[in-house]
Amino acid sequence: MSKKVFITGGTTGIGFELAKAYALEGNEVGVCGRDITKLPADYKKSYPTIKAYNVDVTNSEQLINAVNDFAPQGLDLIIANAGIGVGSKKRIPDFAAQRKVFDINVGGVINAFEAAYEKMMNKKSGHLVAIASVAGFVGLPGNGAYSGSKAAVIKLCESMQLDTRGTGLNVTCICPGFIDTPLTQKNDHPMPFLMPSHKGASLIKNAIDNKETLFIFPWQMKIVITLLDKLPRAFYRMIMSFKFANYSKE
């Protein structure tokens, strides 16, 4: 039986890889992004069950209208994937950029969940998924807003898993390491265990299908992050200060 699936940030990278995977199974898939011209020119021919919407995820009204248009009778799955990262090597952070990161990475997830929540509650079934990051478990030099926003998403999902018990809804938080996408291609630092986007999407889809509550991957990064997260904070700061000795001096 086909499902109604909506993916924010679904025009490129992981989002579009997920959209293709669900469409190839015969599901109806809605994707949104700030610029749907980023989709392949022939996507309608190759994936006729994908419908695209121009949406700014920080605008809750736009997102709600898109979801209502796509799934007026009910939605089975929403994947809040839209996100940005703005790093800095300066000791004085770009606070305007930090606010933008939180608006999109956290506000966008809240808006996506809001757009789907009532529809799912009405039919007592549905799946809310947020794409966070392993960066949400530790603070990283020059990436306070990104790490902080992803930490917020992780805890938001954890709380919603408790709030939705017994309702028929499932909540999944996905925490990838480095995946080869337009977002990570802008990075100017090493990216250990970098994974192709199609492989990352396959692992994410499998975790969603299995209704996992928290999925951290790849396994190597899960081990690294778990160890770093368990370190005494003073020791962690010492390691990070040594590792990124020159990172914040510019």
Residues catalogued as catalytic: 146
Rounded to 5 degrees, what angle do the CA atoms 149, 76, 213 make? Answer: 45
Q: Give counts: helices (H), strands (E), the chain.
A: 9, 9
* Backbone angles phi and psi of 181, in degrees to 5: -135, 170
CA distance from start to end of the chain: 55
* Backbone angles phi and psi of 244, in degrees to 5: -115, 45
- Both tokens of 200, joined, read 């990352």
- Both tokens of 124, joined, read 């007592």
Please name every residue paired with 29 in a beta bridge, in sequence order, or none if there are none: 5, 50
Q: What is the distance between the alpha carbons of residues 244 and 239, in angstroms, rounded to a whole number?
A: 8
Which residues make Cβ contacts (< 8 Å) with residue 37, sequence separation at least 6? none
